Amino acid sequence: SQQGEEDPQALSIQEGENATMNCSYKTSINNLQWYRQNSGRGLVHLILIRSNEREKHSGRLRVTLDTSKKSSSLLITASRAADTASYFCATDYRGANSKLTFGKGITLSVRP
């Protein structure tokens, strides 16, 4: 089963606009990670945020985590056509056998 659920499922924006993607999860986590995937092949790690952190930045990326609401958001500022990809949140939930569980992903299209 997939723990993280992203929304929206698809997002289309104009180049230069900001893109906000959300992820909700069900059980307590150790950390939450965001990945990007181009053309259905390898995933690229973007940001890892731990359960005791509330916000992290990396370049044009900003991730927030609200453990009380069991949700996270990924903000891409000043989007570029090259940001067009699928984005996944993945949760490392607290449990006997920790494993990274992915959501179904968000398809982001940035129009030039």
Partner 1 sequence: GAGVSQTPSNKVTEKGKYVELRCDPISGHTALYWYRQSLGQGPEFLIYFQGTGAADDSGLPNDRFFAVRPEGSVSTLKIQRTERGDSAVYLCASSADRWNTEAFFGQGTRLTVV
Pairing state between β 19-24 and 5-7 = antiparallel
**Rounded Cα–Cα distance for residues 54 and 98 (Å):** 21
Residues 7-66 that bind partner 1 (CB under 8 A): 30-31, 33, 35, 40-45, 48, 50
Nearest to partner 1 of 50, 54 (CB atom): 50
Residue among 11, 19, 76, 103 that touches partner 1 (CB under 8 A): 103
**Rounded Cα–Cα distance for residues 33 and 26 (Å):** 15
82: DSSP letter = G
Provide the binding-site residues for partner 1, judged by CB under 8 A: 2, 4, 30-31, 33, 35, 40-45, 48, 50, 88, 90, 92, 97-105
